[in-house]
Amino acid sequence: MRNPVRSEADAFHIVSGSAAVIGAAVVLGALTTPVAGVALLLGAVAGVCIWEFGTNDPDRLRPLREAAAQGRVARLGTRPRVLVVANRTLPGARLREELLRRAQDGAELRFIVPIVASRVHYIASDVDRELREAHRRLAEALAWARAAGLDASGKVGDPTVAFAAIEDELRMSGADEVIVSTHPPGRSNWLETGIVARLRDELDIPVTHIVGELEPGAAPGRARTAAH
């Protein structure tokens, strides 16, 4: 959605335009019928709303895209780099199948494990248990990657929001693809917050969403890939 007021000139144009429409509606209503004046006013308001909500602001900030651009400049090496965002689904068979496929193509894997805290723990700033669980899952994922001969590294992400952890990582080293692994819709807090949609909206690299399970050997999920 556009930001209609970015300067004093924009504010002046909005005020003067609104005054002109209201004046025209009053004059039309006086010369014909009040209904015609009201119709003109409502039509103008509807047109503005359609334009406002139906168009994108070219100047809207896209922090993830800006972070990725900075990371590409600072990046060392030329190997493809895949950013893997997951927590409770890290052991999932479907995710690991995808990671093995990327590694076979020569990709370097970078795990980001944002802390998944309950609302009560988040409000109380008590995320020690969630922090331990995230470190354990990351250690297990890295041990699996080493055993499979993969080039992988990782870290536990920001304890508040996954977006901050992703943005920080993109800013440091960039990525050629982002893989996000979540539980199915209805069970995933990340999907409810729109993490996949926002990544696809802001980034100009492929974003793959894998619906996985908690433990290896569970029913495989499905993957959807989009390059925006």
Domain presence at residue 71 = yes
Cα separation, 117 vs 90, in Å, equals 16
- The amino acid that residue 32 corresponds to is T
Instruction: Specify whether 112 is located in the same domain as 184.
Output: yes
Please report which confidence band the pLDDT of residue 161 belongs to, taking 50, 70 and 90 as the band edges: low
What does the DSSP 8-state code read for residue 111? Answer: E
Let me know whether 217 and 135 are in one domain. Answer: yes
Residue 1 lies inside a defined structural domain of this protein: no
Asked whether the predicted pLDDT for residue 46 surpasses 50, the reply is: yes
CATH code of the domain containing 140:
3.40.50.620
Q: Are residues 68 and 158 in the same domain?
A: yes
Tokens of 182: 């979540």
State phi, psi for 114 to the nearest 5 degrees.
-65, 140
40 and 140: one domain? no
Q: Is residue 49 domain-shared with residue 154, that is, in the same domain?
A: no
* Domain match, 149 and 189 both: yes
Same domain for 191 and 97, yes or no, is: yes
In this prediction, residue 35 carries a pLDDT of 80
Which of 113, 112, 111, 110 lies closest to 75 in space, CA to CA?
110
List helix spans (H) across the chain.
8-31, 34-54, 63-74, 93-104, 119-123, 128-147, 162-173, 189-192, 195-202
pLDDT at 7 over 80: no
Same domain, 198 and 89: yes
> What's the pLDDT score for residue 18?
74
Query: What is d(CA 110, CA 84) in angstroms, rounded to the nearest whole number?
Result: 6
Contact criterion met (CB below 8 Å) for 154 and 110: yes
In this structure, how many other beta carbons lie within 10 angstroms of the beta carbon of residue 115? 23
pLDDT of 106 strictly over 80: yes
**pLDDT more than 70, % of the chain:** 69
pLDDT for 82 beyond 90:
yes
Q: Is there a domain that residue 209 lies in?
A: yes
Q: Are residues 80 and 32 in the same domain?
A: no
DSSP state of 176: S
Residues 47 and 160 in one domain: no
pLDDT at 222 over 50: no
The model carries a pTM of 0.64
Rounded CA separation 64/114 (Å): 16
The answer to whether position 3 is within a domain reads no
pLDDT tens figures, 13-42: 566 667 777 877 777 778 888 887 677 778
Total domain count, the chain: 2
Looking at the structure, do residues 41 and 140 belong to the same domain, yes or no?
no
Domain that holds residue 32: 8-54
Q: Do 223 and 199 belong together in one domain?
A: yes
Query: Phi and psi of 176, rounded to 5°?
Result: -100, -15
Q: Answer for the pair 150, 96: CB distance below 8 angstroms, yes or no.
A: no
